[in-house]
Amino acid sequence: MKIIDTHAHLYDLKDPEAALLEAGEADVSDVVVLGVDLASNEKHLELEIKTAASRYPRFHLALGLHPGNITTPQETQMCLDLIRTYATKIVAIGEIGLDYHYKWVVNDEKKKQEQRDVFRRQLMLAKEFGLPTVVHARSAFREALDMTIASGVKKVNFHWYTGPVDILKETLDAGFMVSVSPALEYSPEAQAVARYAPLDRLLIETDTPVRGWTPKDVWRTLDALALIKGMPREDVLDAVNLNARNLFGL
Ligand SMILES: [Zn+2]
């Protein structure tokens, strides 16, 4: 059985090629690799070329500017230009979204407005090119959902979702997917999401390199999800693989 990691950041791993090889040996067939700023997006573009061999899992690139990585208007523009340049070669725009949890944002309306602008402009690109988006939301679940619905983008993954269940319900009603990480092993918020969301709306991921996870750890996410759903892991795997293929067109 082969598995797909739908969310990994490889740029700041010490040895991303080794992590990918290890994942390939562990039957990870595909990895969706997401950037967060100009430097990480450029690194992933290089890494995609370096790992284009059958011993590596298939590498699927998503480009984006994360709300926690906004610097200058110039860099924002360069990121958007990069996305536009590669729009026909990538599987998604991500990781993008809203995060008001940061100390330098929580009480700063200007910073929040900046995040909204950057998010909106990337949603507009996704709409223009018909690309799926991978959305990060923290302390801004309502706004992130409302902006995504307003954008008209239909293929959306709210990644590592930990929002309240009423907003989760609306997220699912809007036709969007949510993903869970290995935090499913211990996080009550993630477990509540996995219990509530139907299997045809769930994706599994690692958010590599968070907590030292690498793409092979997506098996841990699968096992935790199978336990919560009370289903054989093969059946859960078939379902989440299909969801990933449908959403990202893998
Ligand atoms: Zn991420």
Find the mean pLDDT for residues 194-199. 98
pLDDT for 21: 97
Q: How far is the CA of 32 from the centre of ligand 1 (A)?
A: 11
Q: How far is the CA of 53 from the centre of ligand 1 (A)?
A: 25
| Domains observed in the chain | 3-248 (3.20.20.140)
Model confidence at 94: pLDDT above 90: yes
Q: How far is the CA of 34 from the centre of ligand 1 (A)?
A: 7
Where residue 186 falls among pLDDT bands split at 50, 70, 90? very high
Task: Give the pair of three-digit tokens for residue 43.
Answer: 């690194």
Q: What is the C-alpha separation between 97 and 193, in angstroms, rounded? A: 19
Share of the chain above pLDDT 90, in %: 97
Q: How far is the CA of 21 from the centre of ligand 1 (A)?
A: 21
**Residue 178 burial by CB count (10 A; 0-12/13-18/19+): exposed, middle or buried?**
buried
Q: How far is the CA of 106 from the centre of ligand 1 (A)?
A: 20
Q: How far is the CA of 207 from the centre of ligand 1 (A)?
A: 5
Classify 17 as helix, strand or coil: helix
Model confidence at 104: pLDDT above 90: no
Q: How far is the CA of 69 from the centre of ligand 1 (A)?
A: 12
Find the mean pLDDT for residues 147-160. 98
Find the mean pLDDT for residues 213-231. 98
Model confidence at 250: pLDDT above 90: yes
Model confidence at 219: pLDDT above 90: yes
Q: How far is the CA of 94 from the centre of ligand 1 (A)?
A: 8
pLDDT for 42: 97
Q: What is the C-alpha separation between 136 and 66, in angstroms, rounded? A: 8
- Number of residues written out for the chain: 250
Model confidence at 66: pLDDT above 90: yes
Average pLDDT, the chain: 97
Model confidence at 105: pLDDT above 90: no
Classify 103 as helix, strand or coil: coil
Taking only the tens place, the pLDDT of each residue in 26-44 is: 999 999 999 999 999 999 9
Find the mean pLDDT for residues 114-125. 98
Q: What is the C-alpha separation between 204 and 223, in angstroms, rounded? A: 10
Q: How far is the CA of 83 from the centre of ligand 1 (A)?
A: 17
Where residue 101 falls among pLDDT bands split at 50, 70, 90? very high
Find the mean pLDDT for residues 215-228. 98
The model carries a pTM of: 0.97
pLDDT for 93: 98
Q: How far is the CA of 7 from the centre of ligand 1 (A)?
A: 6
Q: How far is the CA of 56 from the centre of ligand 1 (A)?
A: 21
